[in-house]
Structure 1
Amino acid sequence: MKNLGSRLASRISKASVRTGKNGRTIGLIQQRQASNSPFNAAVEAAEKMVQPTSKSFNDPFSIVSHEMSNLAKLIASLIGSGHPMLNRVSSYYFEAEGKNVRPLIVLILAKALLKIPVSERNRIPIDSSDVLDQPVYPGTPQQTVVAGNSVNKSISPLRVLHGINPRVILDPLSKPMDRLPELDAANGILPKQRRLAEIVEMIHTASLLHDDVIDLSDARRGRPSGNIAFTNKMAVLAGDFLLGRASVAIARLRNPEVIELLSTTIANLVEGEFMQLKNTVINSDELTVNNDGDVKTIPQPTGKVPVKQHEYSVTTPQEVDHETNVDAAFEYYLHKTYLKTASLMSKLSRAAAVLSGAQEGVIENCYEYGRNLGLCFQIVDDMLDYTSSDASIGKPSQADLKLGLATAPILFAWREEPQLGALIGRKFSEPGDVEIAREAVRKYNGVEKTREMAHKYCSQALDNLRTLPESDARSALEFLTNSILTRTK
């Protein structure tokens, strides 16, 4: 039934069109020569009856292809430094072929939100003033410019920001955004939403540079990781620089709510990394740290600054029953997963909705969509660590156990085999622990149970999307959501 109208108009003069589960006849359509004839209206009506309103997308990138193809170039204009080596390290990961899931979500979600009537997007004024020739939405208040400046200009003088007489290369953030008026008009992606996509990819990439140093990774996106290609120090400093540049770009969005959301994600990433370093709710020892086998006693608090015990901590596995320990471990794992992965996806989705002017109910569903999608994404990632090869995922596979990380597959196995608690507690550090854990995951179907968990979050994310109006963009997001569940790398 696809392209029914064009086939009827060009190939037949008389057709009996049948469709639907009951095989009912839509009607007998007589072809007409005139382009404005009733025939065309009949064909259009028939097409609507036999086809979904929205297209089915095999490639969600296609709906925002121009923005995505220019993403790396636009980010490069934001991270420019006066030091050529810093530029080189900071841009290293943007050169490679990455998933770019986070900016893709922002851009497609921005289009989906556009389908909400303007009258229902009046929580804040819709800000389309940062790029010339932006579409004017009737009935919305004029946007005020903070401190006399738009997103492209600094509030403080550049001589203050840089400490020297500024040159253009030292302040790439003062350059105008890509104008793209015809695409903005067609796609409905506001300048600040496009900038949001660039910011979230900068934050994510900074976290990758830091993670690869922490995890001693040697590959990322199919080539040497930043710490190997350069040095640990350069990779860490480049990650810090990206966060600094991202923070300036965040501030220049001039939206306090969005600034708060995105700034919080940076703290969330660090919190999640610390939870992963500790990695388990059992044998919680706050007196020592293990640095590659070297147990070190840490300085104890003096009492001058209050130090609160983490709410997920449990002292020893002997003090509570097995089921309670496993439940606590899953809660710990999911919270860590939220902080490390889902917090950025959830808050970027919420920020895109805030910038669109949408009402609270839409904003909350966008947040929940990003949260559920982020949890699904990381849970699938943890599953792939057990099932994929190095070449297929572009980084070392089967690394979680070697790093002492207890992710969902081994936690499901632990529920069935309590003796695994000892291995988890010592982070699989003794000879044979990794092999025992892998066999337990296979024996107790840990991978299959992890896939079921990911499917649950995928379904919840799709439910959140269905609160948005039906559109091509929403269909693209639905396809993207399902593809995350089924991805192999």
Structure 2
Amino acid sequence: MKLQKLFLSLENDINKLNANLQKIIGAKHPILYAAAKHLFTTGGKKIRPSIILIIAKITNEQNNIQAEHYRLAEITETIHTASLVHDDIIDDCDTRRGIETVHSTFNTKIAVLAGDFLFAKSSWYIANLNNLEVVKIISKVIIDFAEGEIRQGLTNFDTFITIEDYIEKSFYKTATLIACSCKATAILSKCDKDTQNDFYLYGKHLGLAFQIIDDILDITSKKDELGKPAYSDLKNGNLTAPLIFAVEENKQLYKFIEQEPNNTQDIEYIINMVKQTHGIEKAKDLAEEHIQVAIQIIQNKFKCQNAKLLILLGDYILDRFN
């Protein structure tokens, strides 16, 4: 199922969110404004805010979305976008979603400031929700992002990284935002602690599966399909699930990866070796395990139509690989 069809019932809500994002980035300096606006005019799947809006409907007796939920969805997308700006600088990506990244269009200094600006803006809007519990949980996400990047940087080309290490790093870099946003949505809806925790775990496992599939696609897809350079994980020494499983199966990969390949020929040689192992298949199985946990959480407690959308989202994430 295509994402647009899956989220068809949210079309008006997403249009409203896109309009508000343009207002959120209002900046006095024209260069900073241009850099921030550049990010929000490149599309994006809007998966994170869509999940928030669906959970808002599930947890509201009138099946509607409160102003605070809309604002949380906007904050979440702003935080996500800010993290992409910094990721692109660290990974030296020239394109994102098929167009030039901020640091390629402007320069690295402007890109760093644009990312910082968006983090600061999101923090200000979080504070204005006037809910201390939500402030705490969403603020922790920004800390987790930094933790994830540092962990990744310290393990570049480390062939001894374990799947457990990878999952922990993936939580900090990706799943924490989805998990914490899901829980914050339930908090704003005044749900009980058990329900808050259910949505947190749903977001956590969905986020981990999303990251694993994304890492598989970095190996199996072409640049025009990804919207960013292919093989960027290996180029930057970031060992992901399919690479870790492949190294476990074919010990020869150790020496090739430890040589820190930086030219296209060497990287493609390693990628072909990875494809000859069961690394990609095992990584997909791992993603499916996390999807099944996420689906089970929703199926056990929620029976409404909007809950079915959360379940179908799990299918969509796995279908990205197929």
Query: TM-score w.r.t. structure 2 length?
Result: 0.93
**In the alignment, what sits opposite 2:196?**
363
Pairing of 1:99-248 with structure 2 (within 5 A)? 99-115=45-61, 187-248=63-124
1:41-91 CA-partner distances (Å, limit 9, x unpaired): xxxxxxxxxxxxxxxx97232222211012121012222111122111112
Note if 1:78 corresponds to 2:24. yes
Gap change, CA 1:113 and 1:234, over 3 Å in 2: same
Q: 1:358 to 1:431 in 2, by over 3 A?
A: closer
* 1:446-473 deviations in Å (ceiling 9; x for gaps): 1111111111111111011123321111
Matched AA of 2:49: P
Q: d(CA) in 1 for partners of 2:157 and 2:200?
A: 28
Residue 418 of structure 1 is aligned with which of 226, 251, 266? 251
Amino acid in the other structure paired with 2:11:
S
**Residue matched to 1:349:** 182
Q: 2:274 matched to 1:441?
A: yes
Deviation at 1:354, TM superposition (A): 0.9
Q: Does 1:261 align with 2:137?
A: yes
Q: Is the 8 A contact 1:281 1:329 kept in 2?
A: no
Describe the shift of the 1:334–1:425 C-alpha distance in structure 2 as closer, same or farther (beyond 3 A): farther
**Structure 1 residue runs of 4+, over 6 Å off?**
none
CA contact (8 A) 1:386 1:397 kept: yes
Checking the alignment, whether the CA contact within 8 Å between 1:268 and 1:340 is kept in structure 2 is yes
Contact 2:157 2:260 in 1 (8 A): no
Flag the structure with higher helix content: 2
The aligned amino acid for 2:191 is: A
Change (3 A) 1:341 1:397: same
Q: 1:360 to 1:230 in 2, by over 3 A?
A: same
Instruction: Give the superposition deviation at 1:430.
Output: 8.3
Cα shift at 1:337: 0.5
Q: Deviation string for 1:94-121 (max 9, x for gaps)? A: 1112011110110011112225xxxxxx
CA distance 1:274–1:263, shift in 2 (3 Å): same
* 1:386-397 correspondence runs (5 A): 386-397=219-230
- CA RMSD in angstroms comes to 2.1
Based on CA coordinates, which of the two structures has the bigger radius of gyration?
A: 1
Supply the distance in 1 between the matched residues of 2:197 and 2:318 (Cα, whole angstroms): 23
Is there any run of 5+ residues in structure 2 with no aligned partner, and where?
none
Give matches, 1:310-389, under 5 Å.
325=160, 329-389=162-222
Task: Tell me which residue corresponds to 1:98.
Answer: 44
SS in 2 for 1:91: helix
Give, in angstroms, the shift of residue 280 of structure 1.
5.1
Which of 467, 470, 478 matches 2:300? Answer: 467
Contact 1:63 1:108 in 2 (8 A): no
State the 1:220 CA deviation: 0.8
Q: Which residue of 2 aligns with 1:19?
A: none
Q: Give the distance between the partners of 2:263 and 2:49, measured in 1 at CA.
A: 41
Secondary structure of 1:364 counterpart: helix
**Aligned-partner residue type, residue 109 of structure 2:** K
* % identical aligned pairs: 37
How far the C-alpha of 1:478 sits from its partner, in A, is 1.3
Count matched residues.
320
Q: Give 1:436 shift.
A: 4.3
Q: What stretches of structure 1 of length at least 5 have no aligned partner?
A: 1-56, 116-185, 283-316, 318-324
Partners of 1:280 and 1:332 within 8 A in 2: no
